[in-house]
Homo-oligomer: A and B are copies of this chain.
Amino acid sequence: MRIETKTEKFDEPLHLESGRILESFELVYETYGELNEDKSNVIVICHALAGSHHAAGRYANEAKPGWWDKFIGDGKVIDTTKYFVICSNNIGSTFGSTNPLSIDPSTGKEYRFKFPILTISDVVRAQMKLYDRLGIEKAVAVIGGSMGGMQALCYSIEQPDFTDTVIAMATTAYTRPWAIAINKIAIESIRHDPAFKDGFYDPDDLQAQGLPGLAIGRMAGLIAYLSPELFNSKFGREYARTDGLYELFGRFEVERYLEYNSYSFPKVFDPLSYLYICKTMNIFDAGRNKDKLEDSFDKVKCNLHLISFKDDMLFFPEEMEEIRDIMIKLGKQDQITYKMVDSQSGHDSFLVEVEKFEDHVRDILKGK
């Protein structure tokens, strides 16, 4: 599989939904496979909150491959011998695309809190400019999970001529207060961490020393991304062998897992970026106003394929069933499929239980 990582700079304004304008911006993106002559074999992959453009393959010295490597590759469901796959790092994200630590051209300094609030719609329109630059007019499919699924839904509504096939997984048409509440833990714990310095931290300090506030926010996320059943089967009541049961800070194995996976996070993820992305997710509403969801989904021309996960504790299956029901109510029953996967890894199932939905996706892509 051929992997390329590139950066495109756009010296043209991106008009944001908030009314603000990004005068210029950069997108980092990866591609897998080869673009065919008539540029008709493109599949777009959209990433989630903590994801990046590095969706598949493994670079030298990398401990783990890209986040959807089970799904994308030569001979895999998203077959890179056939398709040219593009995954961009979302604007606002920490992995190289324009984000709160980028230089604001109007001041010559980092944006920090002057960075504008982005919506999912803005993120998608930035990606559209990339396809335009690459001369790509249509994609075979747009696929994403979680916040990537929000983008996928947004493509189906707002870019109705771009693709005939959208696959949205583990996501929602509008972020509900339960998910907003979980993000709130991160927002508050980042804000109150003195090392955050009210947003004027030195990023090098954080990479060296960590940032407990962001780690704790990540911890809340990790809990919501898994499920009670998975925790039971993975950890049970195992206690850390090194720790005393009657030590105040003695730990169960589940606590060690959470520590291990959250305290390392601030070394790779910027806290301002995390705050901005939480905001983008929180304000996502495909209907802009809940009463108008039907108006939004009425614009869908593509076939929309929804995949939910039974034990998803962040975006519950009912949230995707609502979209299915709206599509049917709109008379678009031939354009909608819905599958609930009998998952055991909660929200993260879209990443780790690929084997449970890959045949379904293969069927969707058949002949395309």
A177 touches B290 (CB 8 A): no
Residues in B with CB closer than 8 Å to A113 are 248
Query: With A and B bound together, what is the CA distance between A344 and B36 in angstroms?
Result: 55
Contact string against B for A residues 199-213, beta-carbon threshold 8 Å, 1 for contact and 0 otherwise = 000000000000011
A8 to chain B, nearest CB (A): 26
A75 to chain B, nearest CB (A): 37
Residues in B with CB closer than 8 Å to A20 are 246
Tell me whether A18 is interfacial, beta carbon within 8 Å. yes
Tell me whether A138 is interfacial, beta carbon within 8 Å. no
Of A279-287, A294-302, A323-331, A355-363, the one touching chain B: A279-287
Tell me whether A142 is interfacial, beta carbon within 8 Å. no
Q: Which of B187, B258, B282 contacts A184 (CB 8 A)?
A: B258
B245 touches A283 (CB 8 A): yes
Tell me whether A136 is interfacial, beta carbon within 8 Å. no
A223 touches B182 (CB 8 A): yes
Tell me whether A37 is interfacial, beta carbon within 8 Å. no
> How many copies of this chain does the complex contain?
2
Would you call the interface of chain A mostly helix, strand, loop, or mixed?
helix
Q: Give A232-248 interface residues, CB cut-off 8 Å to B.
A: 232, 234-237, 245-248
| Contacts A188-B216, A290-B237 given; does A228 touch B316 at CB 8 Å | yes
B174 touches A237 (CB 8 A): yes
Tell me whether A23 is interfacial, beta carbon within 8 Å. no
| Contacts A180-B254, A181-B254, A237-B177 given; does A212 touch B188 at CB 8 Å | yes
Residues in B with CB closer than 8 Å to A219 are 181, 184-185, 188
Query: With A and B bound together, what is the CA distance between A18 and B283 in angstroms?
Result: 49
Seen from chain A, the residues whose Cβ lies within 8 Å of a Cβ on chain B are 18-20, 113, 116-117, 174-178, 180-182, 184-185, 187-189, 191-194, 212-213, 215-216, 219-220, 223, 228, 231-232, 234-237, 245-249, 252-255, 258-259, 275-276, 279, 282-283, 285, 290, 316
